[in-house]
Structure 1
């Protein structure tokens, strides 16, 4: 079980309780507003906005909510000013964490992230202390039932993808930041539905975890961070050994 694999997370999210839907909508709304603010409100000319709209629709977000969030970004409706912040830290066992935050109050966010880390065995680190263990990449997760591997490879590599991983029930397509829009457009043009399409931090250095209690503490901390309203995503570089969480 590795920290950069998103498939299990996606599957859990699809069966999550309605109580978490508000958090999902909040994260997507902020992304819509930021995408529209930075690239305009027309998805035809704004690949990032187009991708977030697709994500919103996949989560069954009401069209009115989508429109309002976009208009807040373009200034057609009043709205708060959001900032994107990245925090670095450590979970138990020396596991590295990258915490992406979208907030209208960075002091509140910093306090909440620091407090959550401290309560659950982690700690914040200085800028650059953890980031070198990760690379910023574009990542697309695609259900293997939607396309065969050869067709996906031909399509994605031609569009600029660096790697296509076959994980049996899904494919993971990785690309450089500069090629993200082109790969996203190529997949959309072929009407290939993506379970996930986003910019992520992928670990280039992993931290093995072979102790059950440490593994549980790492996952618990990540879960608690992910529950914070301002947290958009938590990336980690743990590599939990097979069977560790099944041990009695």
Structure 2
């Protein structure tokens, strides 16, 4: 587990949701549209759609907005035709960065992503240049609160099919395969646990420690990319200094 850096990122992401919820809803809407387009509109037959809808609900996305996105993806309502394009590159101090976009204008997305790398002391590389450093996994983050039984959470998660369990003083991290993510999430949800984050993500095999200056440069790049309307997710392997505030 990337420890403090990961928790810092989760806290920051939660803050962004509170401040710019409309932008988050736009990103989630695109994800729902693509899930429905690729696997159909029936939740019971589309595990990916179930997971994305659960993620949307956890972010308080209105049900009618979710349903409209599903219908657009299934072709029942007119919608934009999005294409998923993944860009890769390096940030300051050799940090690996993977950028997942959903866009209806490829030329716009590649230009804005490349500009973000150039502007923030990085460089965009060829497909595959850094993605091999990451593993696609399900990741569930539960904020630790008083009275929580670490052993109980670990046993529930592992018995449900989780692959790994990590804990520190601020959070519990449950790692799953992509295939078992949905069932583990549902079991924990039914057991009454709330998630700071629950998603299929790309987890770095190794973290790259960066200086305070490097952390600031990397975070500026990540913030710029995440503010891009075409960008869905940004994955990176920077390990920030403990004292870095972001």
| Residue-by-residue CA offset, 1:122-159 (whole Å, 9 max, x unaligned) | 11111221112111111111122385221222121122
Describe the shift of the 1:191–1:36 C-alpha distance in structure 2 as closer, same or farther (beyond 3 A).
Answer: farther
Q: Is the 8 A contact 1:144 1:170 kept in 2?
A: yes
1:107 is displaced (CA, Å) by 1.9
- For structure 2, which runs of at least 5 residues remain unmatched after alignment? none
8 Å Cα contact 1:165-1:171 kept in structure 2: yes
In the alignment, what sits opposite 2:47? 47
Count of residues in Structure 1 that have an aligned counterpart in Structure 2: 244
1:231 aligned residue: 231
**Cα deviation 1:8-55 (Å, max 9, x = unaligned):** 333333334866222101111011111212222222333322222222
Which of 126-135 and 24-33 deviates more? 126-135
Contact preservation (8 Å) 1:40, 1:46? yes
Match of 2:96 in 1: 96
Structure 2 equivalent of residue 201 of structure 1: 202
For the 8 Å contact 1:71–1:77, the answer to whether it is kept is yes
Is 1:33 aligned to 2:40, yes or no?
A: no
Provide the TM-score with structure 1 as the length reference.
0.89
Q: CA offset at residue 7 of structure 1?
A: 3.0
Question: How well do the aligned residues superpose, as a CA RMSD in angstroms?
Answer: 2.3
Report the equivalent of 1:184.
185
Provide the TM-score with structure 2 as the length reference.
Answer: 0.90
CA distance in structure 2 between the aligned counterparts of 1:11 and 1:97, rounded to whole angstroms: 20
Structure 1 unpaired stretches of 5+: none
1:89 and 1:3, CA in 2 relative to 1: closer, same or farther beyond 3 A?
farther
2:27 aligned with 1:22: no
Q: Which runs of 4+ in 1 moved over 6 A?
A: none
**Which whole-Å deviations, capped at 9, do the CAs of 1:40-73 have from their partners, x for residues lacking one?**
2222333322222222222222222111101001
Give 1:188 shift: 3.1
- Equivalent residue for 2:175? 174
- Secondary structure at 1:201 match in 2: strand
